[in-house]
Amino acid sequence: MSAETAERPAVHTPETPSAPQQPTPPDAPVPNGLTAIGKTALFSAPLLLAVVGWGGGKLFYDRTTAAATPASAPQPEPDGGALYAQHCATCHGVRGDGKGVAAVYPPARYFGFERFKFAHTTNGIPTDQDLAGIIKNGIPGSAMPGFPQLTPADTQAIIGHVRTLTWSGAYARFWKKAVKDYEDGGDDPDPSKVAKQTAAFCKIEKPIPVPDVYPPPTPDSLERGRKVYLASCVSCHGNEGKGDGPQVKDLKNEDGTPNVPRDLTSGIFKGGGDPHILYSRIRLGIPGTPMPATPTLSNPEMFDLINYVRNFSKPKESPVSTTTAGK
């Protein structure tokens, strides 16, 4: 291991536990004139990193959970890896690569590669609260079920394991790219640079502020919301909110798969249909999909638009009632 790698500072993520320190691939950084043995080690690095990263992350989160458990209520520590294997691996895969034995479509999330779709942060990396909500409630309209029977401690243990899988998968992905760049004539792979890329990918940004109280869907609010909808949403979701706008045929997700806009008349919203959740979806968009962010809309415009969107799935003679929601 080089002196530079040995002196690499630990990677810290604001508002979350420190990500597990990533091991350095054998003989890295690799000098020019790489030998056959060196290449074998180089290409094996991502798998080794994922395995070792899992163990280090599990140990860290186990210690965190133990520290947070009151001494007056001793109980077995939840095993995040075991709980993940029981409830999540069937779809998401043992390594969190979306290659579980259940053939779901769209495929389950690949934690170390794809951005999360439902987060309150600008970079698509969810907070613990975001992940806890998804684990508890699932994602309506998708293959992701809810697990309301899990205790808060069990849920937090799974979240810790998911973060470990995210770190390990992202590190392996960035290392693979560094190797490819080297083969194409670039610089030697640099473990410290890869660690910084991984930390940037996994960093949890500060959540956006989400209002707690929303005005009622009065006729005036619905009319204002209709105007905002026609200006910002109709090209994809259609005049009647059925997901049949004129741009539908050209819509694709980031991975190239076709995207069908949500039929707002169904009343089923991925991530939830409460006003505060719709606020985040409209404000931030949905990463990896054609659903754009709308940072320029004012809060009053957002409130009116939310009322109008929710009203698509309600009887027109009976607008939705006043709703207040916490974050």
**What pLDDT, on a 0 to 100 scale, did the predictor assign at position 185?**
94
Parts of the chain with a pLDDT under 50: 1-18, 20-69, 316-327
Task: Name the token pair of 75.
Answer: 């109980």
**What pLDDT, on a 0 to 100 scale, did the predictor assign at position 207?**
93
* C-alpha 138: how far from chain center: 13
For residue 141, give every residue at least 6 positions away whose Cβ sits within 8 Å of its Cβ, in sequence order, or none. 262, 266, 268, 269, 270
**What pLDDT, on a 0 to 100 scale, did the predictor assign at position 55?**
46
Check if the beta carbon of residue 94 is closer than 8 Å to that of residue 50: no
**What pLDDT, on a 0 to 100 scale, did the predictor assign at position 197?**
95
**What pLDDT, on a 0 to 100 scale, did the predictor assign at position 327?**
35
**What pLDDT, on a 0 to 100 scale, did the predictor assign at position 217?**
96
**What pLDDT, on a 0 to 100 scale, did the predictor assign at position 204?**
93
CATH fold, domain 219-311, is Cytochrome Bc1 Complex; Chain D, domain 2 (1.10.760)
CA distance 79 to 322: 42
CA distance 182 to 45: 14
**What pLDDT, on a 0 to 100 scale, did the predictor assign at position 70?**
55
CA distance 231 to 79: 49
* Interval 232-260: pLDDT, tens: 999 999 999 999 999 998 899 887 888 88
What is the residue extent of each domain of the chain? 3-202, 219-311
CA distance 1 to 229: 57
**What pLDDT, on a 0 to 100 scale, did the predictor assign at position 215?**
95
* C-alpha 47: how far from chain center: 22
Alpha-carbon torsion angle 96, 97, 99, 102, nearest 10: 40
With H, G, I as helix, E, B as strand and everything else as coil, classify residue 213.
Answer: strand
**What pLDDT, on a 0 to 100 scale, did the predictor assign at position 71?**
56
Q: Is the pTM value of this prediction over 0.95?
A: no
